[in-house]
Structure formats: C-alpha cells, structure tokens
Amino acid sequence: MKSENIQIFDTTLRDWDQAAWVGFSIQEKIAIAYALRISWVDAMEIGFWASRADNGMDIIVDLVGKDENAPTMVALSRATIDDIHASYEVLKAAYKPRIHTFIATSDEHIKTKFQKEEETLEEAKERVIGMIEETVSYAAGRKNTAGKNMEVEWSAEDATNSEKNYLLRACRTAIESWATIINVPDTLGTASSWEVEELFKFLDNKTKDLQEKYDFIFSTHNHNDRWLATANSMSAIRWWARQVEWTILWIWERAGNAKIHEIIWNVRDFADRILDWHEFETNFIAEEMWRISALVARILWRDIPLNEPFAWGLVSTHWSWVHHSWAIKWKKNGWADIYKKVDSADYGVPETVETFNARSWTAQIISMLKNQWIELNPSMDKDLIERITKRACEIAEKARGIYTANIYAIYLSEKWEFNINKIETISSNKVCIELEIDWKIVKIVWEWSDENGHIDATVNALNNFFGTESVAIDDIDISVREDILKIAEDLWYEPKKY
C-alpha cells in the first residue's frame, strides 16, 4: 500500500502570543524557528500580526524562510483586508508564503461577533459567507517578490460547534475562492473523537465534486480542554485530514494544542492500531524530537512538567525495579525490552539519560555505572556499593530523582574521597567541574564535540583527572553565562555537595 504524506504545521511561534506566562523574546523565537527548519516541518506559523506588531515575523522570514529548502512561512490574519495585507507585507519575501485567515462559523460566535442590531442571524450568516469569499480571494491574489502566488489556508473558527450544512457551505465558498488548505478546528476543545470523525467524513463526502476541480486538503487543529487533542487529531487524519497542526510540548492558548511528540509517536509507531487501513509518513525528522523539545523546555524552564518525556529526555523511563530489571537484562542479552514499545534513540534521546530514585535497587546502580565503563563486583565491592547506594538514596529522596552523572559523581567521591561542589555548563560545549580535595578547590574544564553531550563530558573530565597523574588546573577564571541551548537535564538541584 502506498503511504500518504501528512503535512506538519507547527503553530508554536504564533500560539505563544495567546499563551499565559510564556512571551518568547525575538531571539528565542529565532532559535525555535531554526530548530523547526532543521526538523523539516512543512509549515511554521510565525505570528499573528493583529495581536502584536513588533513580534519579529519579518526577521524570521529573512533568516529562515527565503530559500527553496525553507518551510512554508505562515501568518495568521482575521477576515479583514487590512489584516491580510499586513500579513502579506511580512510574507512577501518568503520563498513559500501562506496567509492563514479565519472567521467564526458557529451560530453563537456569529451572533456575538458579527450580527448587527438590525440584522437577523440568517442575514449575518449570509454576510459572513460574503466575507469569506472576499478575503480568501484577496489573499489568493497576492504574489511574493518572486511572482509566486500566496498559498491560502482558511479556518472555520468553532467549526465543531457549527451547524453542519452551514459549515459545509462556508468550506465550499473558501475552496471556490482558491483556499488550498481548509482547517476544521476544535476551537473550544469540546469535541469527542467520534464527533470529529463524523464531521470530517461528512465534509469529505460533500466536497467530492470540488476535489475534481480544485487542489485542496483538509487540516485539523485541536485544543486540549478535555485532553482529547491528540485523539481528535488522529481521528481527523483517519478520515482524510492531510495536515495536522501542533505545538512543541504544551505551548498553548486555552488548555493546549495537540503535542508534537504525541502526533509523531502515534503516526510513526502506532498507525496500525489507530489508523486502520491507512499508511502514513511525514517529512518531520523524528530524531530531532528530543533536541527541539529540550530547547523549548530550557527556554520555558519551570513551566514544563517533569513527566513530559521529550522535554527532559525521559522517554520510556521508569523507576519500578520490575521494569528496570528487564531493561538491564535486555541490554545484557540483546533481548526485546518487553516494557519499552518505543525506542528512545529513534527520537534523538541520548542513551545516557537514565534515572534513579529512592525506590530503585542496588543492581540499577551497578547497571548505571557499567554504562560509564565502571565494572563493580557485587561480592568484592560490596562495601563500596552499599555506600554508593545509601548516599544515592539520600540524595534521590531530597531531589526526587537523579541521573547517571550523579551516580558517577557519588562513585568517584566515595572512591577518591572528595566533594563535587558544582558542575556547570559554561558554554554550548564546555563544562566546568569544581572539586574540593583536602580543603583545596580544584576546577577542571572539559570541552566536548557535537557527538557527545554534557554528561559524557563530565564523565570524561573526571576520568581524565583521576585516571592519570596530570596536575590539577587551579583557580581558572570562569565567566559563567546562561545559555538557552543548555540541555535540560543539567544538575539543577541543591545542595551541590554530595
């Protein structure tokens, strides 16, 4: 069976304008835009001009969107000629520009936003149809600086609460006015999966005649008020939506949108269970998932919960010894990991990300140290293992979990009798480890290549220091600076001494 392509439309850079307590700076938006480009999203929505004029949209187009390999640059616009023209002015330099315009189609929204005192509701709905035709036609008639027509996406605000036949009429009007993407959003996040299925089946069946004349696809954009955004997106894909709109992690308005990792996870690894007879593919590079999630998590920092798997590199991570013991046996014997249905490496998560908590077992510590090339014999090294386990449990109880690098540091401090005061990332590829040995402060600076993360750098630095007779480098002046690209699993908890 031939696979069908699902277009990926990321709205992170626009949704932040409507998300509480976020407010990316222009520099942060540029960093995210570059990451989205590297990940090969098909389109990125870079802003909503009407909500905030000085939002860096033109800079993003200039830096990320001008060449043939760039994703489609999208700007959101209300259904007014002025809004659409403002978006056009921002987008006209892009190689692949798209104007995304929207208008409400539910009776409640039309009555509240558009019905005039002297009008009936039906008259107001007729006027909305006229606005769709006028604004979509105007947007479709714009050209970029290379003479290429603007692509137009039209959205029916509150589509899932709209009367079906009126929504169909609005969609047909947009298609006949040369919109090439018809977005059917669950704006209020109230629809169930079966309602989304029925709606997309209805719209697909009732536009068969237009599918022969016009080149268009349906798109889905779901909000997470009832925690159904991903399920509703998959239902829409199952019934002929060929674009899915998402955000990185949980950047949102309202209760959030469908999340990047949930959509890709389901389309890539579980399509046979969810999508029945369909086979799908996307252009998105799954191996970039962890990197882009960690970047946004680092920018937002405290706003991302620890149970977001790709933000913190904790894909398929578990503290249950029953689960973890099988993971250890799997690595040792090459068996299938029966508790892990997704390979974290497929999504760019480093193998070094392994965790320990106070309920974990001694064998897990031995396994974590073995990953750092430290072989401990349970009988010969019994006392050392017991000391490491005791200290690891004490720290994990306070910090609610620690990483391989922490276990390694505890091992070294027990073996060599020193304290680690702090471990700091001082640039995008350097780490500084401050040690206290016999009341003397020693600083080791270690640099790593792109292939290795900061955990490996820490381990290599300490191995280098304690594995040779090299002289310590004392009192190096370090100018520590905040770096938004610093990987999110840094050792952030207090106290720093072990």
Is residue 58 predicted with pLDDT exceeding 70?
yes
Is residue 35 predicted with pLDDT exceeding 60?
yes
* Coil, helix or strand at residue 107: helix
Is there a contact between 185 and 232 (Cβ–Cβ < 8 Å)? no
* Coil, helix or strand at residue 433: strand
Check residue 340 and report its DSSP letter: -
DSSP character string of 355-422 = EE-TTS-HHHHHHHHHTTT----TTTTHHHHHHHHHHHHHHHHHHT-EEHHHHHHHHHHHHHT-EEEE
The confidence score (pLDDT) of residue 303 equals 52
Task: Grade residue 297 by pLDDT with cuts at 50, 70 and 90.
Answer: confident
Alpha-carbon distance 3 to 282, whole Å? 10
Please indicate whether residue 424 or residue 485 has the higher confidence score (pLDDT): 424
Instruction: Compute the mean pLDDT over every residue in the chain, rounded to the nearest whole number.
Output: 77
What is the separation of C-alpha 309 from the centre of its chain, rounded to a whole number of angstroms?
A: 10
pTM over 0.85: no
Residue 424 in tokens: 């700091």
Is there a contact between 155 and 101 (Cβ–Cβ < 8 Å)? yes
The confidence score (pLDDT) of residue 326 equals 62
The confidence score (pLDDT) of residue 423 equals 66
The confidence score (pLDDT) of residue 295 equals 82
Task: Grade residue 388 by pLDDT with cuts at 50, 70 and 90.
Answer: confident
Phi, psi at residue 424, to the nearest 5°?
-125, 140
441-478, pLDDT tens digit by residue?
666 666 655 454 555 555 565 555 554 333 233 322 22
The confidence score (pLDDT) of residue 265 equals 80
The residue written with tokens 């090439």 in the block is 180
Task: Grade residue 214 by pLDDT with cuts at 50, 70 and 90.
Answer: very high
Is residue 199 predicted with pLDDT exceeding 70?
yes
Task: Grade residue 257 by pLDDT with cuts at 50, 70 and 90.
Answer: confident
Say how many residues make up the chain: 498
Is there a contact between 379 and 356 (Cβ–Cβ < 8 Å)? no
